[in-house]
Amino acid sequence: MNDYYGDLGVAQNATPEEIKRAYRKMARKLHPDVNPDPDAADQFKKISQAYDVLGDAEKRQAYDMGSDPYGGSAGSAGFGQGFSFSDIMDAFFSGGVGGQTGPRSRVQRGQDALIGVEIDLSAAVFGSTEDLTFDTAVVCETCHGDGARPGTGRHTCDICHGSGQVQQVQRSFLGQVMTTRPCNACRGFGEIIDSPCFDCSGEGRVRDRRTISVKVPAGVDSGTRIQLTGEGEVGPAGGPAGDLYVEVRVRKHPTFQRQGNDLHCSVELPMTAAALGTTLSLETLDGKRDVDIRPGTQPGDVITLRNLGVTQLRSSARGDLMVHANVRVPTKLDAEQEQLLRQLADQRGEDLSQARFDRVEKGLFGKLRDAFQQK
């Protein structure tokens, strides 16, 4: 009985990958095309015979149980009795020459699709349902995905005889090698449609316009993608649809600017309102709310309205609404107004010729920009 494990230099419990690796390594050294030594040719036949047995799960199992398919005659079988050059190529290139065996299925999964939706800020804050209309691949209603004209059929390909593949002989450093490729006549399907459907030309799908409703969750922002499983393009021959991805874009709001889950806006106050204080009415996304301006409000002060910002994604918590005060100083005064201001300055003991110099502070929008960049 031959010692095939010893011939390949592997242990009896070696994995199929270890056996294949050992054979590849030895075959590269011993093949007659690269080693002219007559002894090398004999050794090559020997290891090829060993790989033929150990590389096949059933033959290996029989060999381990005491049955030698070559009857102990090393080299007598050569490359017959079930061993072919495709096995050698499989050992060399890890995957064989032919690739997929048998005809391929016409039914394939469809591609994923990406479309965009533009929503208002209020929809991003509270969520919404949007109707989307887009062009996509759908099942052909005439043939219902079959690809053949109703009442007609298919026949087995005369070239590949239903296998979906054809073989051809090529020369290589190993000699003549049989290779396998998809059949051009049937495109690898193994059968040919006698009369393709007029509407889909045999594809089983057509382009059409669809309208679907998409639930936009509260808290989304520009760039957020919503995945809709099975709403993408239908595959060839009516195959399962891919997924649809909806990318959200939030329109700019005339009053509010979003930063994270907070909303920001500015209010322009007369100098007197900032000094004396007042209450203003602001139209928020939740309706009208009072904004209390405390006496002595300074330019850039922020009034915070809690829980009037954006809803956090996948949560019920909300951010805040930040109102930035911008105090407007009058540029033109009549004589009476000027006199009143001078009297006020005298009463407050303010010397108009004296001032304290300090570093330049950023304006309102500069502060807003810095605040956004820091978050």
Annotated binding site for Zn(2+): 140, 143, 157, 160, 183, 186, 197, 200
Q: Distances from the Cα of 12 to the Cαs of 5, 72, 83, 118, 137, in angstroms?
A: 6, 18, 21, 65, 55
| Annotated binding-site ranges | 140, 143, 157, 160, 183, 186, 197, 200
Token pair 């887009």 in the structure block, residue: 134
**Contact yes or no for 223/131 (Cβ under 8 A):** no
Q: Is 84 helix (H, G, I), strand (E, B) or coil?
A: coil
Residue matched to tokens 């001078």: 342
Give the whole-angstrom CA distance, residue 61 versus residue 83.
17
Whole-angstrom Cα distance, residue 57 to residue 47?
Answer: 17
The CA distance from 187 to 128, in Å, is 47
CB 174 within 8 A of CB 33: yes
Show Cβ contacts of residue 9 under 8 Å, excluding neighbours closer than 6 positions: 22, 26
Kindly state the DSSP code that residue 330 receives in the 8-state scheme. P
Say whether 28 sits in a helix, a strand or coil.
helix
